Amino acid sequence: MNVGAAKTSSQSACETRLYFIRHAHSDYVHGRELERGLSAEGMQAAKTVRLRLEGEGIGVFVSSPYRRAVDTVRPLAEAAGREIMIYDDLRERLVTGVSDLGPEGFLEAKRLCYADLRYRPPGGENSEEARKRALSVIHGLLRRYPGERIAIGTHGDILTLMLGGWDERYGFDFWEKLSMPDVYCARFAGQTFIGAERIPTEVPHSSTFD
């Protein structure tokens, strides 16, 4: 799915590009959001992401603290000889507490979270809160690295919420169609969002779980 939004008629000569990399496949284990890593399929897909993006001139690498996000970006960062900076506020938005909702319950909770950005699932975080803390990191990166190309290890839900902060067309339907992995390049003139487009990674696996 490609969604682009022109927010300004003139593009700054100092365009910053953010490469949002939704993590590759990870076997879901309830309650292990922080430490669960990539499956064998996911590790191979992370190498595909590296091959696809290593010619983009990316010089800055950041990630959610979750292992599956870090491990998806790691091959690309290592190829560039760069460290990955971890930002806790880029973590995935949780929609479950101590109870495992199962696939159907999980999907319904997601629907509710996107239908009402202030809806707080039991034990989880509402959309407004998650978007605000993630975008705070993004705005800081745009100020610190103007004109750079930045890779961001991320997750399906928080990626959707961030893009939705600039363009409301990014919502539940967009989230549901994301793949593992998936890559979207967002362009900025200063702090102004110009647009975003998907960069195909040719990895077919998709899932509603993140």
Domain ranges of the chain: 15-93+127-198
**Please, what is the average pLDDT of the chain?**
88
Q: Residue 62: pLDDT above 90? A: yes
Are the CB atoms for 10 and 199 separated by under 8 Å? no
Could you give the CA distance from residue 160 to residue 156 in angstroms, rounded to a whole number?
6
Residue type for position 28: Y
> In which band, very low, low, confident or very high, does the pLDDT at 102 lie, cut at 50, 70 and 90?
confident
> In which band, very low, low, confident or very high, does the pLDDT at 209 lie, cut at 50, 70 and 90?
low
β-sheet with 60-63: strand ranges across: 85-86, 60-63, 149-154, 15-22, 182-189, 192-198
- More confident call, 78 vs 98: 78
Can you spell out the DSSP letters for 114-138?
HH-TT---TTS--HHHHHHHHHHHH
pLDDT, tens digit, 9 for 90 and up, residues 7-31: 333 344 589 999 999 999 998 776 6
Is omega for the bond preceding 181 within 30 degrees of 0, making it cis? yes
- More confident call, 179 vs 204: 179
Please name the residues in contact with 8: beta carbons below 8 A apart, sequence gap of 6 or more.
189, 192, 194
Element (H, E) at 154: strand 149-154
Q: Which fold has domain 15-93+127-198?
A: Rossmann fold (3.40.50)
Q: What is the mean pLDDT of residues 52-79?
A: 97
Q: What is the mean pLDDT of residues 94-121?
A: 84
> In which band, very low, low, confident or very high, does the pLDDT at 95 lie, cut at 50, 70 and 90?
confident
DSSP bridge pairs for 198: 184
pLDDT, tens digit, 9 for 90 and up, residues 156-186: 999 999 999 999 999 999 999 999 999 999 9
